[in-house]
Structure 1
Amino acid sequence: MPATIAERRWVVSPAPDNAAVERLSQALRLPAALCRLLVQRGYGDADAARGFLRPAAAHIHPPAGLAGMGDAVARLRKAIDGREIILVHGDYDVDGICATALYVRALRMMGAVALPFVPHRVQDGYDLADAGIRAAAEMGASLILTGDCGIVAHDSVDRARAAGVDVIVTDHHTPGDTLPAAVAVVNPNRADCGYAYKGLAGVGVAYKVCCALAEDIGFPLERLHGFLDLVAIATIADVAPLSGENRALVRWGLKVLQQTPNPGLRALLRVTGLADKGELTSTQVAFQLAPRINAVGRMGEAQRGVKLLLTDDEGEAMQIAQSLEDDNRWRQTVEGDTLKQALAALEIGFDADRDRGVVLSGEGWHPGVIGIVASRMVERLHRPVVMIAMGEDGEGKGSARSTSRFHLYDAMRDCSAHLVRFGGHKVAAGCSIRRENVDAFRDAFNARARALLSDDDLVPEVRIDTEIELHHADLDLVRMLRHAGPFGAGNATPVFAARGVAVVGSPRIVGKGHLKVTLGAFGSRIDAIGFGMAEHAAEPWFGRQLMDVAFKLEENTYNGRTSVQARLVDLRPAG
């Protein structure tokens, strides 16, 4: 079996130049602890640091810079002027659901007749396909506008055109060698697109399209700012980089979310207990809000998620939000069962030396959870994993996840002779495959991984920003670090390391395998929790000798008392 969490390699970032930290601290009048982080992350220049800490309008690039934008706006304006029905076709994940809701609300505000459609994951499959074309015909739509999908749907675009329906594709996934023959294709990752920022999520592209359309027809841009809550949620959920333009959009979107005008989001905030939390964080979005929206798309009818974000009825919003909560609990149960089955399959057939890439297939697996399970497997194996849910018709739906050192989309492309279709990007991808081709695909995928991944690439790493004394891990530091958020992909939550700390008192196992412990060193103490880290309590060295600990810092409020808490990342015997 693969390495456990205790065998991770620690990579401590080089200490920043003290003089550079001091200069930045004096220039901005900020504490040295925050300035050390800024210098480490490439913001040692005072102007660069100001721009990072307070994203400004300069970070937002003109939407006209996106290739295909002019054609998209012209066709949308024609549809508005002619009162054509526009079918907004999204994907069934958080990004696609939010892009769909944003398009429909914004287009309707600008005078369009816009109707939403999101495919059913199990019944319709993913991407623009026959189900979307049928829906357009049934609704009488003469234009399909995609959000977060369509970039590799060449055949479907051709079929829509043959049926007399124009298509505008807006997406952010990796394009193939050619673009679909749509009226317009807007995607910052087009080879011929000179847009200044390539990291937009699908919802970000949708927002830019709406801004360009608003400018063209003279609609007030400020009226679109209320949709930044949807942009923030989907950008975080899609693990898009929180740098550059995304950072500004998410920073502002989180502020909108605190007082969101969207009844569906207000209901979701109440259901998750976040309505009265005040300032919302990217972590709360990623682990509390987004999973509820994601669950409805994974487990059944994603259209309910769209309906939640489109309703203006408070009672209906609360009813749908409660149903999403039920979906999420069901998703967690199914996910746990599938993970157990996948781990059992590993016990039988996995060879750590041979299998640099892992392909697992199962009859009866729910296609809605295999992507999450693939992520869990990558955490354990630290190598690319493809999970395939086989259907009764002999075709399987696959979800793949990877580490940063293996490009999934390129690997899928190189193995595409064994696939019906595929799409995605560097660390996440999807595919369809016939049962009879699974073994050949497994061999080809593994060969690709063996050719590209060295032994060193398979060792899990814990990246540590800085080492600190335990007594410096206080609430003041936590509150200073907020200025460097929101944290996520491309701007990771800072990880600290403290050396030679002891376990104070008795550790506790809580919830489903979580470790709660008090750490102490030189008279200082801090409460800590390690999610899924209960196994460490059984280690022979745990609690019996000093430890080195890697952790993130957070506030914890209980019974009206706020204190600092360490969220454990790794533990090991003191070096």
Structure 2
Amino acid sequence: PDPSEVQLLSSALNLPPTLATLLVQRGYATPGEAKSFLRPALDSLTDPFLIKDMDKAVALVAKAVRSGTPILVHGDYDVDGQCSAALLTRVLELAGAKVVPFVPHRLRDGYDFGPAGLKVAAESGASLVLTCDCGVSATEAVQHAKDMGLAVVVTDHHLTRELPPADAIVNPRREDCDSPSKELCGAGVAFKLVQALCGELGLPATVPFHFLDLVALATVADIVPLVGENRTLVRFGLKMMEQSRWAGVRALLDVTGLVGRPVRAGQVGYVLAPRLNAAGRIGESMEGLKLLLTDDQRTAHDLAVSLDTINARRQEIDERILAEAVDEIEQSVDLGRYHGLVLARDGWHPGVIGIVASRVVERYHRPTVLIGLEGDEGKGSGRSIPGFNLHEALGQCSDHLTRWGGHKAAAGLTVRRDRVEPFRDAFNQVAVSRIPPDELVLTQRVDIIGSVRSLNDDLERLMRHLEPCGPGNPAPVLGVRRANARQPTTVGANHIKFTLDDGSDTIPAIGFGWADRLDEGWWRGQIDVALQLSRNEWRGTSTLQARVVHIKSAD
């Protein structure tokens, strides 16, 4: 960045030059912009009524609450959908409503509001179906609900080609919606609905803020940009999570060893969220929702332990599918020809292939779709790279797909077995037309280059001012050049551990998932390392460590 901008910002706000440099790099060059970023405020949240149809949704929900008839709150089987459903259920019950919470089973019921949700609505005598984190593509199911005499309010954040015939559709990503809150996740949209409902239902305006820990959990898990309103919601939600009032959240913190410690976005994404997601991926998704809704600590503990066990099994499945996917790419795929990857195989669990697709993208830097085949059909999950809109790309291949939907960075699909090959070719053609060969080369952003001696506790504390970090606001990456890896060992399934030494000092380093990505004897020569500073918590002791982001030979 411009040194003069850094100096001006550093002087104006009395900031250390390193922090000022990072702020200017991220586009927060003026004192006002930097202050708003460093100290987000809840009173800066946007007016929920800026979202189209919010007034209609409030009127319909309030009418159902006052009538005393049941309301079906229909979520999704991922973390976002579970948190959204828990948030709306608890608030509506607080207002005196009769609520039937429901999330579908991934394999048995499939994604979105569909036959399973319609059945629950009919059996419960619901007068209103209120979806969260789903519904915007459920045209057929919404029409069926209308034919049954039900009112339908959809709250969602996914992209769609056409809107369903619902009574109200609260989705800031609608083309005709003027709200600036375009990047909210499903729980973020549910939070805005709750904000709007408080006045109509006679609830204190502070009620929504009691659920910010659920909103933070969902926002981080759904990998939406942690900027603007999302940053504010997560910043305050993480603080609340440390002393959550919800038994389920406390139980998750307990089984993962995070009780009594400040919770960071990375711990939500890599520790807490996978356990809730595991229920929706390979278990019973309702278990995750039950965990978030129970007020009994013993029940919460038992459910959290169960999810922890399911997550361990999920990790084993992940590793097997990843190994098979990498082997197929290395043996059968011409990476010079294929700019987009589509891999399909019998036996791949559709509940975990999204995670594996992300890891394939990390390794090969190409948009990737993995498909688990069973019978005549396959269910797929895709992940993308920056600059490649996966949702649009699937739209161009839709003639080969039975169903598809999602975002620019992640999507899901259903495809017939006999259409997999045509889809693979069509997807690659789109990728070739949009991704130049030079953009397929993985490049690593480095914010600051320094010596190992500069990697100290003070610098790590300084970096925390930028949190919560994630998409749109990545954790700072530091670079060390021409260093040596001392005493390298392989730990766990596929990780490397070593001491990083550049002659100025040493620091323990760990590279998750790097053991099979390095040539034999990689440590014999000098290396350039991109890393992030983190804390290694072990048996009550906290030590500084370097988490490897990338390694390459210095020669």
TM-score, reference length from structure 1: 0.94
Deviation at 1:538, TM superposition (A): 4.5
**Percent identity for Structure 1 against Structure 2:** 48
Deviation at 1:380, TM superposition (A): 2.0
1:270, 1:188 → 2: CA distance?
A: 35
Name the structure 2 match of 1:555: 535
SS at match of 1:503: strand
Check the 8 A contact 1:411/1:445 in 2, yes or no.
yes
Instruction: Tell me: higher relative CO, structure 1 or 2? Use CA pairs within 8 A at least 6 residues apart.
Output: 1
Name the structure 2 match of 1:12: none
Q: 1:317 to 1:559 in 2, by over 3 A?
A: closer
SS at match of 1:199: coil
Check the 8 A contact 1:475/1:555 in 2, yes or no.
no
Unmatched 5+ stretches in structure 1: 1-15
1:298, 1:560 → 2: CA distance?
A: 33
Check the 8 A contact 2:451/2:504 in 1, yes or no.
no
Structure 2 counterpart of 1:218, one-letter code: G
Check the 8 A contact 1:405/1:457 in 2, yes or no.
no
Structure 1 counterpart of 2:224, one-letter code: A
Deviation at 1:574, TM superposition (A): 2.1
Check the 8 A contact 1:507/1:517 in 2, yes or no.
yes
1:355-434 to 2 correspondences below 5 Å: 355-392=338-375, 394-434=376-416
Does 1:77 pair with 2:62? yes
1:239, 1:527 → 2: CA distance?
A: 29
1:339, 1:157 → 2: CA distance?
A: 37
2:11, 2:148 → 1: CA distance?
A: 66
Check the 8 A contact 1:465/1:494 in 2, yes or no.
yes
Does 1:450 pair with 2:432? yes
Does 1:130 pair with 2:115? yes
1:463-502 to 2 correspondences below 5 Å: 463-502=445-484
CA offset digits 1:414-434 (Å, max 9, x no partner): 111111111101010011122
Aligned residue among 271, 284, 290 for 2:273: 290
2:514, 2:86 → 1: CA distance?
A: 38
Structure 2 counterpart of 1:183, one-letter code: D
1:532, 1:431 → 2: CA distance?
A: 27
Check the 8 A contact 1:122/1:300 in 2, yes or no.
no
Between stretches 421-430 and 506-515, larger displacement belongs to 506-515
Q: 1:381 to 1:573 in 2, by over 3 A?
A: closer
Deviation at 1:156, TM superposition (A): 1.2
Does 1:32 pair with 2:14? no
1:536, 1:409 → 2: CA distance?
A: 30
Aligned residue among 87, 90, 97 for 1:112: 97
Name the structure 2 match of 1:101: 86
Structure 1 counterpart of 2:348, one-letter code: W
CA RMSD of the aligned region, Å?
A: 1.5
Deviation at 1:532, TM superposition (A): 1.7
TM-score, reference length from structure 2: 0.97
Structure 2 counterpart of 1:552, one-letter code: Q
Aligned residue among 440, 460, 466 for 2:422: 440
1:284-323 to 2 correspondences below 5 Å: 284-323=267-306
CA offset digits 1:344-386 (Å, max 9, x no partner): 4334531212222222222232111111111122122211111
**Count of residue pairs brought into register by the alignment:** 555
Name the structure 2 match of 1:567: 547
1:334, 1:534 → 2: CA distance?
A: 19
Which stretches of structure 1, 4 residues or longer, exceed 6 Å deviation after superposition? none
Deviation at 1:90, TM superposition (A): 0.7
Deviation at 1:535, TM superposition (A): 4.1
Check the 8 A contact 2:452/2:504 in 1, yes or no.
no
Check the 8 A contact 1:175/1:189 in 2, yes or no.
no
Aligned residue among 513, 522, 525 for 2:494: 513
Check the 8 A contact 1:374/1:401 in 2, yes or no.
yes
2:385, 2:426 → 1: CA distance?
A: 18
2:526, 2:464 → 1: CA distance?
A: 31
Q: 1:557 to 1:419 in 2, by over 3 A?
A: closer
Name the structure 1 match of 2:263: 280
Check the 8 A contact 1:59/1:244 in 2, yes or no.
no
1:162, 1:303 → 2: CA distance?
A: 27
Deviation at 1:521, TM superposition (A): 2.6
Unmatched 5+ stretches in structure 2: none
